[in-house]
Amino acid sequence: MKTSRDIIVIGLGGMGSAAACHLAARGQRVLGLERFGPAHNRGSSHGGSRITRQSYFEDPAYVPLLLRSYELFAKLERDTGRDIATLCGGVMLGRPDSRTVAGSLRSAQEWGLPHELLDAKEVRRRFPTLTPGEDEVALYEERAGFVRPEATVTAHVQLALQAGAELRFEEPVTRWEVLPGGKGVRVHTADDVYTAGHLVVCPGAWAPRLLAGLGIGFAIERQVMYWFQPPGGTAPFEPGRHPIYIWEDAEGVQIYGFPAIEGPDGGAKVAFFRKGSDCDPETIDRTVAEEEVAAMAAQLAPRIPALPGRLRKAVTCMYTTTSDEHFVLARHPAHPDSVTVACGFSGHGFKFVPVIGEIVADLALNGTTEHPIALFDPLRAPLGQSATPEGETTT
């Protein structure tokens, strides 16, 4: 058994790397444990880009966290010199009463966020790559854009190491337990056993295994990201000409996409939002079928007709989704003195990574935070199941 640390962090993807960074910066002796390598492509924190936006259709309660996250992304860039966030503008498209448009407008109005409402003609004028129907509108947000997940994770890992954290990769956790009397925690890995005063669990798609005692039925969903090479070249899709977008059709199906940010031969990335299939993180099918590519191209053809040319690549990732699609972020109900959990980010969490790291550090050290996180209580309805006090395991 290794010497005890102040805090062990399980999982060093987006949330875990940020937590390790913030905790180490506050003088904690941190041990981080990750089953894969740094900034890997086996979970949810990869794919070159993630949308960031403030007019948040999911719920206005997220907006204060987004504002802080924007500040922390900028600080992360300054502290590491890495290119992480690009604010190229974004549109939320659909019918006026769609969740994407109406929900975004609600958040923008409630928080006084700068925005514009554009009719279909104005969308086509400003962004010739987009062809909305006459019954569709868009909310335009100048400060929307994208963040780079691999660069974000790498930056947080870099700062954590500089602050003295010990980060161990390729060392999967098999089990954890709270010591008798709540006097710390013990974590078992494939290689060793470690103890600490407190445990932070950021398990991503491994939440059903590592946090079974929460009593939450996480759905692990296989998602696919696609990069298409426009037949006419990527110039019309460059940042500044082509925005990030989320587009909801009349049936409620959402797609999202990005400018061409990987050069003239990299294509432009697109994906469905919440049209995945159930999977297991250990056995996920990472092969993308021809019919999946065809379905994506068919959705794009009437909306962005200049895009669905040759497929450059297609890559899978995973969502870990709660029943209400909101996060789980709190002290563990069964182990409030010993364990903090950050999970269930439901496919829309990466834009919050740096502020989640700050919140986790607050919770682990103080048991509370000034950030508004009541929405993320693991005992809320409809999650509503009581956590059990047993130790949690994985295979």
**Residues 221-272 pLDDT 10s:** 999 999 999 999 999 999 999 999 999 999 999 999 999 999 888 999 999 9
Residue 392 has pLDDT above 70, yes or no: no
**Cis peptide bond upstream of 382, omega within 30:** yes
The pLDDT assigned to 221 comes to 97
**Residues 96-120 pLDDT 10s:** 999 999 999 999 999 999 999 999 9
**Residues 131-160 pLDDT 10s:** 999 999 999 999 999 999 999 999 999 999
**Residues 163-183 pLDDT 10s:** 999 999 999 999 999 999 888
Residue 50 has pLDDT above 60, yes or no: yes
CA 31 to chain centre: 23
pLDDT band at 39 (very low <50, low <70, confident <90, very high): very high
Q: What percentage of residues in the chain have a pLDDT greater than 70? A: 96
Residue 129 has pLDDT above 80, yes or no: yes
The pLDDT assigned to 181 comes to 86
The pLDDT assigned to 394 comes to 40
Beta strands 193-201 and 339-343, pairing class: parallel
* CA atoms of 16 and 38, how far apart (whole Å): 11
pLDDT band at 382 (very low <50, low <70, confident <90, very high): confident
The pLDDT assigned to 2 comes to 57
Residue with tokens 């200049």: 306
Helices 353-366/149-162 angle, 10° precision: 40
pLDDT band at 1 (very low <50, low <70, confident <90, very high): low
**C-alpha atoms less than 13 angstroms from C-alpha of 38 in its C-beta half-sphere:** 16
The pLDDT assigned to 4 comes to 79
| Total-model pTM | 0.96
**Residues 263-302 pLDDT 10s:** 888 999 999 998 899 999 999 999 999 999 999 999 999 9
